[in-house]
Amino acid sequence: MKYLIVGLGNIGSEYRDTRHNIGFMAAHRLCEKLNVTPELDRHAYYALGKYKGRQLHIILPTTYMNLSGKAVRFHMKKHDIPIDNIMVITDDIALPFGRMRLRGKGSAGGHNGLKNIEEVLGTNEYPRLRFGVGDNFSRGRQVDYVLSDFTDDEFIDIPDLLDQCVEGILSFVTIGLGKTMTELNKKKKD
């Protein structure tokens, strides 16, 4: 069984610890757990991890957020991975900080990375794990907010939340979308 795990974010040190890069952070945490290191490949940093007989093809697109679909499509085709075996991890301002929501399909919800993936793949029916980053911004300041760093208090919680995210990814590849949604979507940040 092969899976494509996509952590969305923007490349560059200026984006490293921003809310918009939580997908990258989760992908890196997954790589640490599987003891693999992403290396530069076509359209993404790429690593192959193995877990309980599954191959996890992990990518962090280098195309920047708004062109993420290009990397997703390339690696889907290159590794012959069906759309049901993709998981895209992304930030979500509609969810409180630390809350995670897994879905098998859905709208982009104004997220440019998800919009581009939907455009390139021609469907919105692919699993996505949305990681809540909160919505503590003034009207018209959404871009500044998602491109800002997490607060010091939030950073304290990030390692545990990333571990929960990785548990959700590993559950998805072993027991499937339905059961993982039931477990992950009911969890709340302590």
Q: CA-CA distance, 110 to 39, in Å (whole number)?
A: 30
What amino acid is encoded at 182 in this protein? Answer: T
Angle, helices 152-175/22-34, rounded to nearest 10 degrees: 60
Tell me whether residue 131 is exposed, middle or buried, using C-beta atoms within 10 angstroms of its C-beta: 0 to 12, 13 to 18, 19 or more.
Answer: buried
CB crowding 36-58: b at 16 or more within 10 Å, else e:
bebeebebbbbbebeeeeebbbb
Tell me what the mean pLDDT of segment 143-156 comes to: 90
CB neighbour list of residue 45: distance below 8 Å, 6 or more residues apart = 38, 39, 59, 60, 62
pLDDT tens, residue by residue, 36-67: 999 999 999 999 999 999 999 999 999 988 99
Burial (Cβ within 10 Å: 0-12, 13-18, ≥19) of residue 170? buried
In this prediction, residue 181 carries a pLDDT of 92
The percent of residues above 70 in pLDDT, for the chain, comes to 98
Higher pLDDT, 187 or 138: 138
Domains in the chain (CATH in brackets) are 2-186 (3.40.50.1470)
Residues in CB range of 139: below 8 A, 6 or more apart: none
pLDDT for 136 equals 80
Which pLDDT score, from 0 to 100, does residue 189 have?
56
pLDDT of residue 183: 87
**Per-residue pLDDT averaged across 25-38, rounded?**
97
Q: Any catalytic annotation for residue 57?
A: no
**DSSP H or E stretch at residue 60:** strand 54-61
pLDDT above 70: residue 173: yes
Length of the chain, please?
Answer: 190
Helical ranges in 95-141 per DSSP H = 112-121
The pLDDT of 145-159, averaged and rounded, is: 92
Looking at 20, 43, 57, 111, which residue is catalytic?
20
Range of weakest confidence among 73-77, 81-85, 183-187: 183-187
Q: What percent of the chain has pLDDT over 90?
A: 78
Range scoring the smallest mean pLDDT among 83-97, 151-165, 173-187: 173-187
Average of per-residue pLDDT values in the chain: 93
